[in-house]
Every structure is written in structure tokens, then in C-alpha cells.
């Protein structure tokens, strides 16, 4: 198989994974989006975290809410807990890497906020601990996961699991879902608030 064939195979797999997820994605986007919109309406905040590519997803999604997704509208309070290198490295150095999100959640989140963990495996201990800390405070928890969902699925009030083993394909589905959620939230807060 030459490189072009390899790329075409990856594209075919991407399309198959998206097609398999299609029926569920809009339903889950509405379910998660409804919770996020309700938290924003009530003056709460969204906290998002992940590792590696999922950390980039957390930052991307927070930017869509703070700046804008499609609409010109007021900023919405979304915070990626992956961006403060001093906080992340001090917690990892002084305690354990598993605590990097949990300590931030305990410091910043309030009951009634919503916390989203993103993990392609669902087994990352820092994601699990961050979601546990959120539940202990009284936050609603959301998890975007892959493979079988791992331990993180037991820490989420709402979850979506991309049932695939390829990290890249899981991340592609997560990004699409994140955009659908942003679209829903903007729509119900600023276009049709009665929904």
C-alpha cells in the first residue's frame, strides 16, 4: 500500500466512524448543550479539560464560547483547565499528575457549574479525578470518551463514547460533537431562547 492509498483508507475509516455516530451525535449534542445553556443562564461556568489533543479540544471549545462560534453575541464563561502551565506543573511536581485538574476544579468550580472531561481512552487518571472532584462539589459532569469509556464513564452524568480504537478518529468525532454543542448553545441562548 502506497502513502496515497493509506491516506484514502484513513479517510474511508473517518467517514465510516462519522456515519456510525450520526444517529446519536445530534441527540447527545442537544442533551449536553441543554445542560450547558442552563448553567450559563443561571450564571454558572463551564470548565473543560483533557490531555494532549483533548487538551487542545478543551481550549478550542472554551474559545468558541468566550469569543464566538457563529454568532456575534456576549461572551460565555468557559474555562479550559489546560492552559496555566505554572499551575499544572506545580501541582504535578508537588503532588501528582493525577491531581492537576481535580485541584483546579476544587479551587475554581462552584455547585451548579458544569465540568467536562475529554479523553480518548477514558482511563486517564487525571480526567477521572477531575470529574470526581466536580461531582463532590455538586457540579454537573460531562465526559467525551472513546474506546469503551474506561473508568471516566462512571464519573459522568452525561457522556458520549466514540466506540473506536483509533485515537485520531475518536478526536475527529469529539471535535464534531463539540461544534454541534456550541451551535446548540448559541442557538438556544441567542436565537430561540424559549427552546
pLDDT at 23: 87
**What is the total count of domains within the chain?**
1
Nearest to 114 by CA among 75, 158, 84: 158
Block means of pLDDT (10 residues each) for the chain, 195 residues, are 94 94 94 98 98 98 97 97 98 98 98 98 97 98 97 98 95 97 97 77
Q: What pTM did the predictor assign?
A: 0.96
pLDDT at 194: 65
Structural domain span for residue 40: 3-191
CATH number at residue 22: 3.40.50.10490
pLDDT at 116: 99
Amino acid at each position: 500500500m502506497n502513502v496515497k492509498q493509506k491516506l484514502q483508507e484513513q479517510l474511508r475509516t473517518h467517514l465510516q466512524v462519522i456515519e456510525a455516530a450520526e444517529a446519536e451525535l445530534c441527540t447527545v449534542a442537544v442533551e449536553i448543550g441543554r445542560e450547558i445553556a442552563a448553567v450559563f443562564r443561571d450564571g454558572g461556568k463551564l470548565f473543560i479539560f483533557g490531555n494532549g489533543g483533548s487538551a487542545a479540544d478543551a481550549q478550542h471549545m472554551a474559545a468558541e464560547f468566550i469569543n464566538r462560534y457563529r454568532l456575534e453575541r456576549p461572551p460565555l464563561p468557559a474555562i479550559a483547565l489546560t492552559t496555566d502551565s505554572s499551575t499544572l506543573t506545580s501541582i504535578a511536581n508537588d503532588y501528582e499528575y493525577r491531581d492537576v485538574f481535580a485541584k483546579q476544579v476544587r479551587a475554581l468550580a462552584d455547585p451548579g457549574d458544569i465540568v467536562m472531561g475529554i479523553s480518548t481512552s477514558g482511563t486517564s487518571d487525571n480526567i477521572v479525578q477531575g470529574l470526581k472532584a466536580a461531582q463532590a462539589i455538586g457540579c454537573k459532569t460531562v465526559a467525551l470518551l472513546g474506546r469503551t469509556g474506561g473508568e471516566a464513564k462512571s464519573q459522568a452524568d452525561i457522556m458520549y463514547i466514540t466506540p473506536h480504537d483509533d485515537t485520531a478518529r475518536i478526536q475527529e468525532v469529539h471535535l464534531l460533537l463539540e461544534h454541534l454543542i456550541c451551535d446548540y448553545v448559541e442557538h438556544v441562548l441567542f436565537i430561540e431562547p424559549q427552546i
